[in-house]
Chain A
Amino acid sequence: MFVQTFPITRGDFDTAGEASSKIKNMLKKLGISPRIVREVAITAYEMELNLVIHSLGGELKLEVRPKSIELTAKDNGPGIEDIKLALKEGYSTASESVRNMGFGAGMGLPNVVRHCHNFHIESELNKGTLIIAGYSLDEKED
């Protein structure tokens, strides 16, 4: 099993995407199928951006097992008040300055759901949010 954790700093746009880029390269080196690498990279990037934009800081964790991959985003707050709403396309609380950088369309979480095989989210106000995106590796590959 292969595990790597990346700390993600709130508001750090200069380095946003670096963890996801590393994750992508690691998976390539491990010989994971290109299709899965791409899906995981997109998910990782959406999760990383959400940690930078919406959380007070947290971490992104990659776990690779023989038959599965798991990406976990965990943060220290502020938590999500209405998870159902947050999972709706177009819902975003991102600021104007975030939008000017090209993000904050409310597409990220639904995109994560679309690009992974198993999705788990839990959140508590003032405590934090935990999101897990899982991939199984024994599916038919194209």
Chain B
Amino acid sequence: MKVSEVARILNAKILCCEHRLHEEVTSAFGADMMSDVLAFMNEHTLLLTGLVNPHVIRTAEMLELRAIVFVRGKEVPEEILERAKEQEIVLLATDKTLYTSCGLLYATGLPECRRK
């Protein structure tokens, strides 16, 4: 699924890196613990999280993630946007909860990510 399609389904605001909306994600993972994200995700996975701090971007950098959805209408500070831009990671923000966001994407057929 294209990241632009994710944004449409979740009625999400695009916070940065619009030029990478055409990137594909082949699975998704929802978590607030970056420890779990590091243990489960791979580079083509979409991350959905309610945690907003710079460690989220650092974690995404290590995993080479292409896009992150911040859920529950969290305010995303400038520092985080700057870091995401450096890494060219698309940031999306939706007012929906993690449960609803994951449910909507799952219903379209986007699968969970498989642990390697």
Contact = CB atoms under 8 A, between A and B. Distances in A.
A78 B70 CA distance: 36
B64 A102 contact: no
Interface string A80-107: 0000000001000000000101111111
A65 interface: no
A79 interface: no
Tell me what chain A mostly uses at the interface: helix, strand, loop, or mixed: helix
Interface in B20-65: 32-36, 38-39, 43, 51, 53, 55-56, 58-59, 61-64
A45 B62 contact: yes
B62 A24 contact: yes
- For the side of the interface on B, what is the size category? 10 to 19
Interface of A: 13, 16-17, 20-21, 24, 38, 41-42, 44-46, 89, 99, 101-108, 110-111, 114
B83 to A, nearest CB: 10
Give the residue among B56, B58, B63 with the most A Cβ atoms within 10 A.
Answer: B58
